[in-house]
Structure 1
Amino acid sequence: MFLATEGGNAGGIWGLIWPFILMFAVFYFLLIRPQQKKQKQRTAMLNQIKKGDKITTIGGLHGTVVELSDDTVVVRVNDTTKMTFERSAINAIVSTAPAAATE
């Protein structure tokens, strides 16, 4: 039969906690931190959208921004078709509009 002495379990508790601390650190640096950085970049990209920018939506639709509001974006797909999307549906800015064309 095994008998524990007083104070003998203190090293055992740290021995159990260290792997969890190490796993959390690995998850933080490999998963959580890069995801937060990517989200910041996406938010900055969505805030930089302006009229005349050529964009691509998450669904793969290409078009030019003709109107903006806080939550929505109106995109001209061809000469006659305009579509309204949530700002979050924009995947990428393909090219930005020249400064003179924003008016």
Structure 2
Amino acid sequence: MAQRIITEMIDDIDGSTIIDGNGRAIAFSVDGRAYEIDLNGANADKFEAALSPYIAAARLVTTPRGATSSSKDAEQGDELTRIRRWAHRNGFTIPADGSINLEARIAYTAAH
């Protein structure tokens, strides 16, 4: 007997099915607690727009040398590296501190 297993990504805000890569899992943290939410493209844009003034005013926190990080942290670092490379190739300027501005993140998401 043949089986087909289908996995669907569901938007955690409106319950819609995320199709054709038009969405993503967004990891974020608040008050030292880490969260992840699955959002379709429109809700991801709303989420990023709502956070943009706070991100713009915030400073980047990095893991001190010698500290261990989880595999999720490593995956997020890999994603940031991919975004940074894509942004450079597509004419976005990345500040000297290495932070990736919201405009570049949104453009990367739209392109992928």
What interval of TM-score do these two structures reach, taking the shorter chain for normalisation? under 0.3
State the TM-score, normalizing by the size of structure 2: 0.24
State the TM-score, normalizing by the size of structure 1: 0.25
Higher relative contact order at CA 8 Å, sep ≥6: structure 1 or structure 2? 1
Higher strand share goes to which structure? 1
Q: Kindly name which structure, 1 or 2, has the bigger radius of gyration based on alpha carbons.
A: 1
